Amino acid sequence: MSVKDSKPNIILLVIDTLRSDRLSCYGYEKSTTPNIDAFAKESVLFENAIASSCWTLPSQASMFTGLFPSEHGAADGNLYLDEKIPTLTELLKKYGYSNYAYSVSNGWLTGATNFTRGFDYIEQFRKQGPKPKSILKRIFREIDRRLKAKDAAYSARVSREAKEVIKKNVSQNKPFFMYIDLMDTHMPYKPAKKFMKKFRLNKANSSEVAFLQDKFKEYRAKPESLDENQLDLLNKLYDASVATVDKRLRGLLKFVSSKKLRDNTIVIITSDHGECLGEHGLLGHWFSLHDTLLKVPLILKYPQHLTPTRISQQVQQRDLFYTILDLVGYRGDKSENDQILKNSYLSALERGGLFDEYAFAEHASAKMNLQQILNHNPDFNDQKLICNKQAIRTNQYKYIWYGSGHEELFDLNNDANEKINIIDDKPNQAAIFRDKLEQVRSGFKKFDISKNKEMEYDDEVAKRLKDMGYL
């Protein structure tokens, strides 16, 4: 089917730190995501979508540029996306789109890191209004706050506000791109009370739950300090947070599925990376390129153009950049067009091509992340974790190269949790992956990027980064 003449709207929902194996529609045995599940039934669901890195800045930079971290350079040691590299929003703006961003809680996706280029409206770090002068006004405001407590969460508020912006653009017949970044599944996990009860956290020791919510910076630096009961509670908190964001998206997902919108609106649900919850002796999303961090949900809905299905073949998440441009009919110069047609998912879904057998991911030397660990664990010195890492993956095997000299090879068909390193047992297979890794490296685009530009963030950005555990 050809792309429609009228430009479709685009809504990109990025649920930060959401690993795919905790969604019911990805096979999780617990009912965490009934609303996303219903959405997925009417969509293309990619069962094996691989993020380009294991934390927000490099991974989202890949989504917005179609480049790997080594190409766009936004990673540890260079917390900035260079102006020379065009972004998805800049290209869409040039193509006639109005661009909106809701990224209130994420300190990495700001003007300080140069991620705001191309947006017409950005909702970030909303300031509180002046304090009411009279005691009576304060009392009424507090009553109002308590009555609306269930809607106070950022994700619930954004869902409501996004609907109003969408209505306005649709009524004016203007194509729009809306990017929404939700932080419900990022540490510290503070799910809604309803889901605390559903996952029986209300029956747990309240001081233990409070410790896991409030002291994550400390125990994340010393994962071995948590016992089995605490790890179990932490996993329940995460599941409850997944269920919370699913519930808060219910109204928005229902709205964008309405007849007025569904035929000319592309809606995408994904995440920038996953989370380690005790696997590989780690907590959080640093230092690792295992699938707990790289396998992310990717669900794409465009009823007028794409037939709902499940895709088991592996896909590279950074190719979402090319797929969006392909779906809206964007065409640039010849090299841009060639790259779009080569990397777009539509090449395999509609044009008889094949999905790339290999996916690549990397994590630069953990300079910034390491400092946060050392703040709470001065003795930490695991060279295997803090060095550069790169991974090559197929649906059957995963190879991880470490700058420290360590190597890992996993048979994903028989060891999906990546517990058994078979690097010595499969020398021929390891050699194939080493060669493929070198091939990917040699094919990197070369940009004259201004390295190590200082990130200049104001007090509010610093506070958000501190709350997220980065400062």
List, in sequence order, every residue forming a beta bridge with 50; answer none if it has no partner: 295, 316
Tell whether omega for the bond before 297 is within 30 degrees of 0, i.e. cis: no
Q: How far are the Cα atoms of 13, 293, 358, 373 from residue 16, in angstroms, in the given order?
A: 9, 11, 24, 21
pLDDT lower than 50: segments of the chain: 1-4, 125-152
What pLDDT does 141 receive? 46
- CA 211 vs. chain centroid, Å, equals 26
What pLDDT does 2 receive? 38
| Owner of token pair 């009417």 | 42
Q: What is the CA radius of gyration of the chain?
A: 22
DSSP 8-state assignment for residue 269: E
What pLDDT does 1 receive? 34
CA pair distance 15, 271, nearest whole angstrom: 5
What pLDDT does 37 receive? 98
What pLDDT does 146 receive? 40
Residue 102 structure tokens? 């809701």
List, in sequence order, every residue forming a beta bridge with 308; answer none if it has no partner: none
Residue 264 structure tokens? 């000319």
Q: 352 with 47: CB under 8 angstroms?
A: no
What pLDDT does 458 receive? 58
Backbone phi and psi for residue 419, each to the nearest 5 degrees, phi listed first:
-100, -25
CA angle 441, 272, 393 (to 5 degrees): 40
What pLDDT does 80 receive? 87
CA pair distance 177, 156, nearest whole angstrom: 20
What pLDDT does 115 receive? 86
| pTM above threshold 0.85 | yes
Domains of the chain: 9-468 (3.40.720.10)
pLDDT, tens digit (0-9, with 9 covering 90-100), for 334-384? 889 999 999 999 999 998 889 999 999 999 887 777 888 888 999 988 888
CA angle 152, 155, 161 (to 5 degrees): 85
Residue type, 312: S
